Amino acid sequence: MYGQTSNGDLFIILYPAAENLKEKVVRVYDHDMKRLPSFIPINVDGGDTEANPSKEQARKKGIYYECPAFEIVTYDGKDTQMGKERRFGDVLRLSRAAREAVAQGVRSAPTSTQPAQPSSSPALPPLAVPGTSPTELPDYRVLALGAKTVTEFDYAAFMAVKGGLYIDQERIRAMREALVPGWYPGEKTNSAMLVALEVYQRTRLAVENESGDRTKAHNVGKREALRAYNRVIEGRSESSI
């Protein structure tokens, strides 16, 4: 659904694909719209609302548009009276129908005969992956290894190694940037960074428990994590790390 704030800023509301879920998942504002799949028009006039109508309310007003389902990453924003604001991060995965639409389509304005408004899958977690039932959690390590964007990697890596030092996704991002500034997802770099994050956590906790020296623990953990990262990049097996 398209909307416009009182300041004239355009936004798109994404709704859950599941029919029994009625309320919005998240708003996507202008600076993030380019991340949406190409079958969702973004060069359009704002809608006639600045509120957050339910799916049924939007349908009755004629401002709700269907599109193939896709999955997204969200993150916590600022605190509000209703709790933390949910913010749009990135598109995580497209359904088969969405992939076909992306392959065929360019962005064009939605019409009554060819609706093109977003319908995202429910907010994370859980996520669905091929071969699992909707109630099963995916293998987040596999998702991290196959990540195509930094946001996707950070989310999946956090879910794969959370606990210990990694109490939130921000810790993963900060450690990743500290280890390899300018890092970007790739076939080898995903595997190398995931191993490095695991080695850092394991090594730092061991040294800190033994010595009680956090600075020393960080330095040793970072050194061993970088060694592990380079070994994977050089093609040596993870089992030797």
Task: Give the tens place of pLDDT for each residue, 73-128.
Answer: 888 877 777 677 888 888 888 888 888 777 775 554 454 333 333 334 333 333 33
Residue 53 has pLDDT above 60, yes or no: yes
Burial of 124 (0-12, 13-18, 19+ CB in 10 A): middle
116 shares its domain with 146: no
Give the 3-state secondary structure percentages of the chain, helix then strand then coil, rounded to 5: 40, 15, 40
Q: Among 10-19, 104-113, 207-216, which stretch is predicted with the lowest mean pLDDT? A: 104-113
Can you say how many angstroms the Cα of residue 4 is from the centroid of all Cα atoms in its chain?
25
In a domain, 114, yes or no: yes
Structural domain total, the chain:
2
188 shares its domain with 227: yes
110 shares its domain with 218: no
89 shares its domain with 151: no
In a domain, 135, yes or no: no
97 shares its domain with 154: no
20 shares its domain with 113: yes
Structural domain span for residue 202: 140-240
In a domain, 133, yes or no: no
* CA distances for 181 relative to 35, 84, 95, 168, angstroms: 23, 29, 32, 20
106 shares its domain with 188: no
Predicted pLDDT of residue 117: 37
200 shares its domain with 154: yes
Predicted pLDDT of residue 191: 94
- Core vs surface per residue 197-231: b (16+ CB within 10 A) or e: bbbbbbbbeebbeeeeeeeebbebbbebbbebbeb
Residue 135 has pLDDT above 80, yes or no: no
Contacts of 40 (CB under 8 A, 6+ apart): 12, 33, 67, 107, 116, 117, 118
In a domain, 197, yes or no: yes
69 shares its domain with 34: yes
Q: In the predicted model, what is the mean pLDDT of residues 119-142?
A: 46
Identify the bridge partners of residue 166 per DSSP, sorted by sequence position: 163
In a domain, 205, yes or no: yes
Predicted pLDDT of residue 138: 61
In a domain, 132, yes or no: no
96 shares its domain with 201: no
The answer to pTM > 0.95 is no
Residue 217 has pLDDT above 90, yes or no: yes
20 shares its domain with 51: yes
In a domain, 59, yes or no: yes
- For residue range 160-200, what is the model confidence (pLDDT) as tens digits? 888 788 888 888 999 999 999 989 999 899 999 999 999 99
In a domain, 128, yes or no: no
65 shares its domain with 101: yes
